[in-house]
Amino acid sequence: MKQRLVKGKGSDLTDQKLQQSRGKKKMISRILIKVLLEIAEKKGNKRFQKSLWNAYYCLDKVTTANGRMYSANYCRSRICTVCAGNKKAVMINKYYPVLKHWEAPYFVTLTVKAIPAKNLNKWINEGMIRGFNKIVAKYKKRNDRGTGMKLSGIRALECNFNSMKRTYNPHFHIVVANKKMAEILIDEWLNLWKSDKQIFTSRKAQHMRPIVDMEKDLIETIKYGTKIFTQPNPDKKEKRKGAERVYAMAIYNILNAMKGRHLVEHFGFKMPASSKENETIILTDSKDWKYDQSKLDWVNKETDQVLTQFSPTPELVKMVQDIDSELE
């Protein structure tokens, strides 16, 4: 009888929707990462190549037992759609128990003028993140002196690509404790980028609204960085199903601009301590599976059986086969 030592609770093999989703994410990651590796090699970015190979082989081998699936090789990379999905779920489960008790929370979007690829790194790191932290620090000092409120919330950094204009739209999605904090953030953000010579942003580009469903808005807030599939014209409110494209060069630029940054952070309050230890268990009568690119599934070598029976739609196949590696 085969035995194996694993950590964590694993995932439910009887959840067909989950297994199909995992197969889809693995397929997308594998194909996209191959294109990103070619871009990184052309640019001589060896450090990024190493990270990409790590993500390429993420969840390459899995073990099943007692109706659950386990893996010891999660890459935790932002480009890996499997790990990004896992990270998003962890973040939501982490923050929701605290934020659900806020009496009148608000959802806020802060953004700047769309920018070209060459300015993306500078705007994200020296502009937006530095500027936001400056606002939070200002109100913390006021609160410490007893002259104002401290800002409290969750901040998530995201960036979209507009293929029509070839520009990037870095922005923050934020959940704050009340309306007053939302108003302060928008007013201070506009003051931060005020200039007589240039237009860096505008009031109409910022948004705030009350939160009715905290769990839903946490999901909206924590998108974890960048969208893989992009509409031809993101400015249009109406989305065309099946018209999405994958712009690998744009994804490469976004990932590099966000490198080394926490995409989701809380500010103004302390999180309760939580245990990071995963329970170690011994599996009995386990089976080993390895991902097979030709079958788009995990295969058991002993039986040649596939694990998820994932089958991509023709639309998905077309999208990943038609990845654009030039536009940025």
Residue-level length of the chain = 328
pLDDT computed for residue 235 by the predictor = 59
For residue 154, which amino acid is it?
I
Cα distance between residue 106 and residue 222, in whole Å: 15
pLDDT computed for residue 232 by the predictor = 54
Q: Tens of pLDDT along 134-188?
A: 999 999 999 999 988 999 999 999 998 999 999 999 999 999 999 999 999 999 9
Q: Tens of pLDDT along 90-127?
A: 889 899 999 999 999 999 999 999 999 999 999 999 89
Cα distance between residue 324 and residue 31, in whole Å: 12
Pairing of strands 287-292, 207-210: unpaired
Cα distance between residue 154 and residue 217, in whole Å: 11
The secondary element (H helix, E strand) that includes residue 220 is helix 214-221
- Tell me the C-alpha to C-alpha distance, in Å, between residue 302 and each of 68, 283, 290, 306, 309: 19, 18, 11, 11, 17
Exposed e or buried b for every residue in 38-75, given b needs 16+ CB within 10 A? ebbeeeebeebbebbebbbebbeebbbbeebbbbeeeb
Look at residues 35, 36, 34 and name the one whose alpha carbon lies nearest to residue 254.
36
For residue 26, which amino acid is it?
K
Helical residues (DSSP H) of 45-204, grouped into ranges: 46-56, 81-99, 120-122, 130-144, 179-192
Cα distance between residue 223 and residue 216, in whole Å: 12
Q: Collect all residues with Cβ–Cβ distance below 8 Å to 43 and sequence separation of at least 6.
A: none
Cβ–Cβ < 8 Å for 27, 297: no
Q: Provide DSSP, 233-273.
A: -TTSSS--TT--B-BHHHHHHHHHHTTT--SEEEESSPPPP
DSSP code for 94: H
Asked which of 21-35, 188-202, 313-327 is least confident by mean pLDDT, the reply is 188-202
Cβ–Cβ < 8 Å for 64, 289: yes
User: Packing angle between helix 314-321 and helix 16-42, nearest 10 degrees?
Assistant: 10
The answer, yes or no, to whether residue 215 has pLDDT greater than 70, is yes
Cα distance between residue 29 and residue 80, in whole Å: 6
Pairing of strands 61-65, 11-12: unpaired
Q: Tens of pLDDT along 74-83?
A: 888 888 888 8
Tell me the pLDDT of the chain averaged across its residues. 88
The answer, yes or no, to whether residue 205 has pLDDT greater than 90, is yes
pLDDT top residue among 135 and 274: 135
DSSP code for 118: G
Please report where in the chains the tokens 């038609």 appear, as a residue. 322
Segment 221-228 shows an average pLDDT of 67
Cβ–Cβ < 8 Å for 39, 249: yes
Cβ–Cβ < 8 Å for 201, 171: no
Exposed e or buried b for every residue in 177-189, given b needs 16+ CB within 10 A? bbeebbebbbebb
Q: Tens of pLDDT along 233-257?
A: 555 555 555 567 899 999 999 999 9
Pairing of strands 207-210, 264-267: unpaired
Domain ranges of the chain: 3-84+279-321, 85-267
Pairing of strands 153-162, 225-226: parallel
Q: Tens of pLDDT along 283-304?
A: 888 899 999 999 999 999 999 9
